[in-house]
């Protein structure tokens, strides 16, 4: 079913709570609605969004926003391994809750992340040592360029840290469903600092127990978008090549910084953007309507509830410039600007 509304206020549809308007908003419930919508309205200035938890409206959107309400969770068992096929419009966190209820492991570390399933696959959401790409088998989508429905394997999706072909192809693909791999055999991922003591408590670990701990951890650091507008981490954590890291250490060491937090990844050395932003003096700073969260400076907030996209981008640019001046590192937003 297709429901069309004209001239819509987008404030309730983005977790930043930014006021902006779009010319047309379409909800749809069936995959077959998509070709119908593109036939009626074309593909020019057609934007597919999920829960609006990873975007920033910088101005009114003069085009059509489409929002999947395709639901469904179908779990198929093959030995100890299960696959779950999930409609793009399902709230991903509700899906995690249901899978944890069934005692299935694999996505519990992604608990508490706001947003819809389709967007989770586009964004390659990640937290506490797990990225959704680690469990993705296939992604079903509609290719607006060829007008065909296709199924992509995880490899086809070109996943990287918070990136995918979906993010890099200018909204060509509209995700309709994803299939993830889950396991009934206990396979907790507790390497992340703050989780490793879970295994020492003596309590039998279940996916739900890990989920609860993850949600507790997130709540200590991240603001609830229902109360304070935000889009989670605003910036990506920068990843430096060996050469860049060497240069960075020399210059930061020269400025008196020691014990700089860092993590080795296959792509290079990851420096927490939160640390760079905190050292640049922004932690907890409020500038007009926009601010930097006092418990996690990677998160920008709509401090008064009245911030415009421009207020947030002004603060974003100030942070980027300051971190670059102090550390020679260019921060990149992970939030999509529209
Ligand atoms: N840190 C500071 N000051 C602070 C907070 C953190 O210096 O006030 C430094 C510390 O060194 C800390 C490090 O930053 O060890 C890492 O902080 P944290 O564990 O909170 O994680 P993060 O790197 O800031 C990433 C993801 C989050 C995800 C967490 C947990 C990105 C951009 N963000 O944040 O994802 O929840 O790890 O795995 O990769 C999101 O994408 O929206 C998101 C919230």
Ligand 1 pocket test, candidate residues 126, 195, 215, 224, most atoms within 8 A of CB: 126
Give yes or no: residues 206 and 273 share one domain: no
Please give the pLDDT value at position 254.
Answer: 85
In a shared domain, residues 134 and 175: yes
Q: What rounded mean pLDDT belongs to the chain?
A: 96
77 and 216 together in one domain: yes
In a shared domain, residues 182 and 294: no
SS3 148: strand
- Residue 201: the pLDDT is 67
Asked if the model's pLDDT at residue 65 lies above 80, the reply is yes
CATH of the domain at 208: 3.30.465.10
Residues 89 and 215 in one domain: yes
Per-residue burial over 78-95, b if 16 or more Cβ lie within 10 Å, else e, is eeeebbbbbbbbbbbbeb
Q: Are residues 19 and 93 in the same domain?
A: no
11 & 143 share domain: no
Out of 175, 196, 221, pick the residue that ends a domain. Answer: 221
CA-161 nearest atom, ligand 1: 39
Total-model pTM: 0.96
Tell me, yes or no, whether 217 and 238 share the same domain: no
Examine the domain organization and report whether 263 and 186 are in the same domain: no
Note the pLDDT of residue 202. 67
The pLDDT of residue 196 is 77
Cα(314)–Cα(79) distance, integer angstroms? 53
Supply the pLDDT for residue 170.
87
Taking CB atoms and a 6 Å cutoff, what residues make up the pocket around ligand 1? 127-128, 221, 232-233, 236-237, 261, 272, 274-275, 278, 283, 296-298, 334
Q: Are 115 and 215 within one domain?
A: yes
- For residue 32, the domain's CATH number is 3.30.43.10
Residue that has been written with the tokens 């996943």 in this structure: 159
| pLDDT band (50, 70, 90) for residue 331 | very high
Range of the domain at 184: 73-221
Domain boundary among 163, 194, 221: 221
Domain count, the chain: 3
Ligand 1 atom closest to Cα of residue 128: 38
**What would the pLDDT profile of 276-289 be if each residue is shown by its tens digit?**
999 999 999 999 99
Taking the C-alpha atoms of residue 73 and residue 207, their distance in angstroms, rounded to an integer, is 18
Of 199, 221, 243, which residue sits at a domain end? 221
Residue-wise pLDDT tens digits, 122-177: 999 999 999 999 999 999 999 999 999 999 999 999 999 999 999 999 899 999 99
Cα of 272 from ligand 1 centre, angstroms? 7
Q: Are residues 154 and 169 in the same domain?
A: yes
Span 166-208, pLDDT tens digits: 999 989 999 999 999 999 999 999 988 888 788 776 678 999 9
Q: Which helix (H) or strand (E) holds 75?
A: strand 73-78
Distances (CA, A) of 331 to 32, 37, 260, 323, 335: 40, 37, 17, 8, 12
Q: Is 51 helix (H, G, I), strand (E, B) or coil?
A: coil
pLDDT, tens digit, 9 for 90 and up, residues 3-37: 999 999 999 999 999 999 999 999 999 999 999 99
Ligand 1 pocket mutation, candidates 230, 238, 298, criterion most atoms within 8 A of CB: 298
Helix axes 242-254, 309-327, angle to 10 degrees: 80
Q: Measured between alpha carbons, how far is 309 from 307 in angstroms, rounded to an integer?
A: 7
Q: Which CATH number is 295's domain given?
A: 3.90.78.10
């Amino acid at each position: 079913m297709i429901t069309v509304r004209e001239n819509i206020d987008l404030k309730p549809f983005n977790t930043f709570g930014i006021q902006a308007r779009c010319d047309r908003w379409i909800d749809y419930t069936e995959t077959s609605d998509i070709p119908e919508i593109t036939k009626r309205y074309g593909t020019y200035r057609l934007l597919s969004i999920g829960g609006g938890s990873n975007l920033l409206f910088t101005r009114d959107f003069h085009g059509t926003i489409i929002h999947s309400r395709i639901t469904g969770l179908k779990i198929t068992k093959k030995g100890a391994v299960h696959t779950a096929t999930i409609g793009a419009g399902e709230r991903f966190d509700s899906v995690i809750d249901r899978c944890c209820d069934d005692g299935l492991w694999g996505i519990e570390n992604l608990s508490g992340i706001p947003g819809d399933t389709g967007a989770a696959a586009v964004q390659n959401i990640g937290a506490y040592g797990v990225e959704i790409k680690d469990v993705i088998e296939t992604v079903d989508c509609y290719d607006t360029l060829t007008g065909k429905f296709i199924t992509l394997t995880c490899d086809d999706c070109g996943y990287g840290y918070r990136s995918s072909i979906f993010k890099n192809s200018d909204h060509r693909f509209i995700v309709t469903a994803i299939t993830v791999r889950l396991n009934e055999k206990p396979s907790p991922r507790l390497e992340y600092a703050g989780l490793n003591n879970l295994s020492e408590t003596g309590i039998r670990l279940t996916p739900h127990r890990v989920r609860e701990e993850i949600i507790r951890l997130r709540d200590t650091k991240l603001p609830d978008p229902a109360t304070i507008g935000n889009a989670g981490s605003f910036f990506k954590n920068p990843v430096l090549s060996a050469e860049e890291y060497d240069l960075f250490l020399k210059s930061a060491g020269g400025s008196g910084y020691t014990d700089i937090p860092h993590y080795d990844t296959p792509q290079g050395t990851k420096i927490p953007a939160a640390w760079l932003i905190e050292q640049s003096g922004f932690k907890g700073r409020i500038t007009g309507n926009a601010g930097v969260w006092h418990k996690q400076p990677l998160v920008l907030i709509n401090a008064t509830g009245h911030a415009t996209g421009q207020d947030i981008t002004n603060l974003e640019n100030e942070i980027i410039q300051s971190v670059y001046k102090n550390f020679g590192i260019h921060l990149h937003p992970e939030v999509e600007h529209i």
